[in-house]
Amino acid sequence: MTEYKKNILVYLVAVIVLILIGFTALFIGSSYINPIDVVSYILSNNQISASTAIIISEIRLPRIILAFIVGAGLAVAGSVFQAIIRNPMVDPYIIGISAGAGTGVMVALFLGIEISVLNLSSIPVFAFIGAVSTVFIVYQLAKVGKKLPVLTFLLAGVAMSFILNSVMSFLMVLRTENLQQLVYWLMGSLAGSSWSDIQMVLPYFLAALAVIVFYLKDLNILLLGEESAAHLGLNVERTKIILLGSASLITASVVSVSGSIGFIGLVVPHITRMIIGPDHRKLIPLTALFGGGFLLVADTAARTIMAPMELPVGIITALAGGPYFIHLLRNKSKNIW
Amino acid sequence: MKIMLKTDNIKFSYNKTNIIKGIDLNIKKGSFVGIIGPNASGKSTLLKNISKTLTVDQGKVYLDKKVLNDYNSMELAKKMAVVPQNTEVNFNFNVYDIIMMGRHPYQKRWSGLKQEDKKIVKNIMELTDTLKLKNKLINELSGGERQRVIIARALAQDPDVLLLDEPTSNLDINYQGEIYGLLKHLNQKFNLTIITVSHDLNLTAQYCEELLLLKNGKIFAAGNAENVLTEKNIKKVYKAEVLIKINPISGKPFVTLIPEKNDKYKNQKNKDFKVHVIAGGGTAQKFLYKLDNEGYPLSIGVLNIGDADWQAAKELGIETVEAPPFIEITEKEINKNRKLIKKADLVILSDLPFGHGNLANLKILLEFPEKKKILFSNLNIEKRDYIKGKAAAIWNKIIIEDENVILLKEKDDLIKKINELENMEMER
């Protein structure tokens, strides 16, 4: 029972900290808003100026919510990929799925859809097509007979990632008019987020998340290894395909608004696993909270530290996550799970 | 008796290499079968074929009268559980969670833990002695403990058949016995059908009721351990010279590799100084190994078949004159012994006891007064004489009349003495 209590405590603390972070992110930024004003806005007191109200409701609030969705999505997708591949070095960014989604978006733009069309919900569809095609290609490349060895999967993913990044760079050079925006998007940025972005992402995100939640127990069984999982009555190939598809869809939906933000899908599931253990029924909700919180902090830093200029948040997450990845590589201890 | 698992001329190939070349199995409910065979004989592949991990190319596998491929994965998991060769789990679930996963085929997706599942898992943990490990993380366990947990998980599936691939390959000897002891208990108490694959001939022979010896994807021999583990079979299948002894406690055959004949890289320092040993009753066992190790060409006779010295001589591959036990040595055997003594540069008579049966072994020395002989005086001849002074009389005659006798008090001095004699011989 003590473990049960501990888990409840962990969740409680996570939620409280997240609310505090969210609240803080509302009042800091390129223009400082008095926290009292924020409180009174939340309590629907109209004693604040119209411009402050707009900053809060139309700029910061959607951005905070979107940062949370993107961070949570990447972390959940990362956990799922890590469980399916049974390797903690896996992340949507590393195995090329982010690049695939990004390429899908770039192709859509190149085919004549204006950058402002980013607000339309067809973009995640392109991203999803890109992501799923990438997963499919990587899967086919990596397959040896009927099996999917981890090593070939990683290598195929890294190779695809390189190729797709070049494709994106090439498309970018061809369309120079929106270069800065594209570069920012490519590096991963939540600048200019609006409610319509959230509207665009949310249906895909929730649909994929629902599927993953449905399969949480199967994810645990998959961790035992594919052979053992099959002996325990799991239809391994079908489960893998469904889960890879859902995790790709989550990745695609968030990449279509944020670009490729690296390392969240790697680092956050890891740290969460250290705290709560490998059972996905407990892990996935917490990793979503942590991922959302982490990206929220990183994004708030990205728009604050060099204000009024904005940094692409991908730079910050990569600076934080890269060294952690190296640390993992160097420290191949058995307890990385 | 009910047939639990049956295969019908199954064949399987991997990358165009035929691995299983037509195997028929009829495994009865409640049997404990051990599949053995050299590397690449197809034993692990066979196990994968009957566990549906690899689907056969030809032929059919029947589990409880139903074709294996007609089972869906959930149904199959309720009938058959598998303990794979690699049980390494590289993530840190606790033991209880791991064992509970064995209940997966019985659980609905959204139902919580049922009371029934909890009860079954608790019983199994008691049975496999894993209850005390309940809250430990899987990576904190020793190899033997982890194997017990994985077996417990398989048992939680409540299977009719349990398959194990090399269940003890990475375990110390104490855990090996423990795991097989557990399997035997499960087999006997719950009539669980168990099939193991192992490269350990002796463990398999000790615990499994039926053995299946594979060679090149086919069954070479099947049956109980006594019939399968014969020197002839092992020579044909493994190309190794072995000695089959009987384990005195279990009465099961026990395979020992004969080092001399198999060791191609042994230092070939064969000396040009032939030694013939007359022994029996295990009196020469120890120094035979030492002499062999020193590189002296050895011969020995006349020994009773089954005698401890005889076994040592067989293991070392020494030229032996052998005779059936409990009857007097015949003229034919004495003759063979005589020939060997003639060829030898030195004869050693160990401190063996004499009776009617082997008196000829002592008498023969009288025929060779010119040969160098080593005898031992550590045990009084009267105490070793079981034929009322006859042996003592001959012994005393040799000691007194023969000038080439060297009498040693300690067996430990033997090697040194022989080295001396050898050097004298060389100088001459």
- Each residue of B334-372: pLDDT tens digit? 999 999 999 998 999 998 899 888 888 888 988 988 888
Using CA atoms, how far residue A251 sits from A6, A81, A168, in Å, is 31, 11, 17
**Beta-sheet pairing, B218-223 with B210-215:** antiparallel
**A124 — pLDDT class (breaks 50, 70, 90):** confident
Identify the band that residue A315 occupies on the pLDDT scale cut at 50, 70 and 90.
Answer: confident
Query: What pLDDT score was predicted for residue A117?
Result: 45
State which H helix or E strand residue B67 sits in: strand B66-67
Tell me which residues of chain B have a pLDDT lower than 50: none
Contact A224 B89 (CB under 8 A): yes
Contacts of B109 (CB under 8 A, 6+ apart): A214, A217
Helix intervals (H) in B17-169: 43-50, 73-79, 95-100, 115-127, 143-156
Does some domain include residue A22? no
Write down the pLDDT at residue B261.
53
- Does residue B299 share a domain with residue B238? no
Range of the domain at B139: 3-257
From B97, B101, B139, residue closest to A335, measured CB to CB: B139
Tell me which chain A residues have a C-beta less than 8 angstroms from the C-beta of B53.
227, 230-231
pLDDT of residue A116: 47
pLDDT given at position A331:
65
Residues shown for chain B: 428
Q: What is the pLDDT of residues A104-114, one digit of tens each?
A: 888 877 776 55
B210 and B305 inside one domain: no
Is the pLDDT at A118 greater than 50? The verdict is: no
Statement to judge: residues B418 and B342 lie in one domain: yes
Instruction: Supply the Cα-derived Rg of chain A in whole angstroms.
Output: 20
Q: Return the pLDDT at A49.
A: 76
Mutate to test the interface with B, among A232, A275, A332, A333 (most CBs of B within 10 A): A232
Checking if the pLDDT of A141 tops 60, the result is yes
Indicate the pLDDT class of residue A297, thresholds 50, 70 and 90: very high
pLDDT recorded at residue A46 = 65
Nearest to B104 among A223, A233, A277 (CB): A233
- Of all residues in chain B, the one with the smallest CA distance to A87 is B90
Query: Do B315 and B393 belong to one domain?
Result: yes
Residues whose CB is less than 8 angstroms from the CB of residue A218 and which lie 6 or more positions away in sequence, other chains included:
A229, A234, A239, A243
Instruction: Looking at the structure, tell me whether residues B350 and B396 fall in a common domain.
Output: yes
Token code pair at residue B235: 């020579």
Residue A298 lies in a domain: yes
Query: Which CATH number is A213's domain given?
Result: 1.10.3470.10
Same domain, B212 and B330: no
Same domain, B94 and B54: yes
Would you state the structure tokens that stand for residue A87, as one six-digit string? 């390797």
Tell me whether B258 touches chain A (CB under 8 Å).
no
Smallest CA–CA distance from A232 into chain B, residue:
B77
The pLDDT of residue B50: 92
Residues B127 and B271 in one domain: no
Same domain, B363 and B251: no
| Whether the Cβ atoms of residue B233 and residue B253 lie closer than 8 Å to each other | no
- Per CB-CB distance under 8 Å, the chain B contacts of A332 are none
Domain-terminating residue out of B257, B283, B312? B257
Same domain, B284 and B246: no
Nearest residue on chain A to B74, alpha-carbon basis: A233
* Contact status of B93 with chain A (Cβ, < 8 Å): yes
CA A265 to CA A168: how far, in whole Å? 21
Instruction: Say how far apart CA B307 and CA B324 lie, in whole Å.
Output: 10
**Do B215 and B305 share a domain, yes or no?**
no
Q: Which domain holds residue A115?
A: 60-336
Task: Judge contact between B408 and B281, C-beta under 8 A.
Answer: no
Nearest Cα to A112, choosing from A170, A194, A171?
A171
On whether residue A101 sits in a domain, the answer given is yes
Chain B residues 134-163 with CB within 8 Å of chain A:
139, 154, 157
- Residue B348's pLDDT is 92
Q: What is the pLDDT of residue A85?
A: 80
For tokens 């615990």, the residue is B207
Q: Is residue A325 in some structural domain?
A: yes
Tell which of B257, B283, B316 closes a domain. Answer: B257
In chain B, the number of structural domains is: 2
Count CA atoms within 13 Å of residue A265 on its CB side.
32
Alpha-carbon distances, residue A101 vs A3, A87, A104, A197, B379 (angstroms): 40, 22, 5, 16, 92
Report the C-alpha gap between A21 and A42 in whole angstroms: 15
ipTM: 0.79
Other C-beta atoms closer than 10 Å to the C-beta of B84 total 23
- Tell me, yes or no, if B186 comes closer than 8 A to chain A by beta carbon: no
> What whole-number percentage of chain A has pLDDT above 90?
20
- How far apart, in whole angstroms, are the C-alpha atoms of residue B144 and residue A206? 44
The answer to whether residue A88 sits within a structural domain is yes
What's the structural domain count of chain A? 1
Domain harbouring B16, CATH code: 3.40.50.300
- Residue B270, pLDDT score: 67
B-chain residue closest to A275, CA distance: B92
Measured between alpha carbons, how far is A277 from B210 in angstroms, rounded to an integer? 43
pLDDT exceeds 70 at position A138: yes
- Pair (B295, B403) in one structural domain: yes
Q: What is the mean pLDDT of residues A176-197?
A: 75
Q: Which two tokens stand for residue B86?
A: 């690699």
Arithmetic mean of pLDDT over chain A: 82
Q: Is B158 exposed, middle or buried (0-12, 13-18, 19+ CB in 10 A)?
A: middle
Token digits of residue A11: 């969740």
